[in-house]
Amino acid sequence: MRSLIRADKSMVEDNFSKYANLYDKYADIQCLAAKELISKSPDQNIRNILDVGCGTGSYTLLLRKKYNLAHIKAVDISRDMVDVARTKFEKGGIEFIVADAEEIEFTGEFDLITSNAAFQWFNDPGSFLAGYKNALREEGSILFSTFGPLTFRELSLSVKDALGKDIRISSDGFPGKEELAGMMKDLFRKSAVEETVIKKKYVSLEELLRHIKYTGARGRGISGISLWRKTMLDRIEEAYMSNFGGIEASYQIFYCRASG
Average pLDDT over residues 140-154: 96
Contacts of 84 (CB under 8 A, 6+ apart): 20, 21, 23, 24, 56, 57
| CA gap 231, 253 in Å, rounded | 32
Domain covering 9-148+172-198+253-259 in this structure, CATH number: 3.40.50.150
- Which range (141-155, 176-190, 206-220) has the least confidence? 206-220
Q: Is the pLDDT of residue 183 over 80?
A: yes
Q: What is the pLDDT of residues 116-132, one digit of tens each?
A: 999 998 989 999 999 99
Q: Is the pLDDT of residue 5 over 90?
A: no
Average pLDDT over residues 233-257: 95
Average pLDDT over residues 32-47: 94
User: What does the domain layout of the chain look like in residue ranges?
Assistant: 9-148+172-198+253-259
| CA gap 24, 257 in Å, rounded | 26
- Taking each helix axis from N to C end, the angle separating 125-133 and 177-187, rounded to the nearest 10 degrees, works out to 30
Bridge pairing between strands 48-52 and 71-76: parallel
Q: What is the pLDDT of residues 47-92, one digit of tens each?
A: 999 999 999 999 999 999 999 999 999 999 999 999 999 999 987 7
Answer with the residue of higher pLDDT: 19 or 241: 241
Q: Cα-atom radius of gyration of the chain, to the nearest Å?
A: 18
Confidence of residue 221 (pLDDT cuts 50, 70, 90): very low
DSSP 50-100: EEET-TTSHHHHHHHHHSTTSEEEEEES-HHHHHHHHTT-TT--EEEEES-
Confidence of residue 9 (pLDDT cuts 50, 70, 90): low
Q: Is the pLDDT of residue 224 over 50?
A: no
pLDDT at 1: 45
Q: Mean pLDDT, the chain, as a whole number?
A: 89
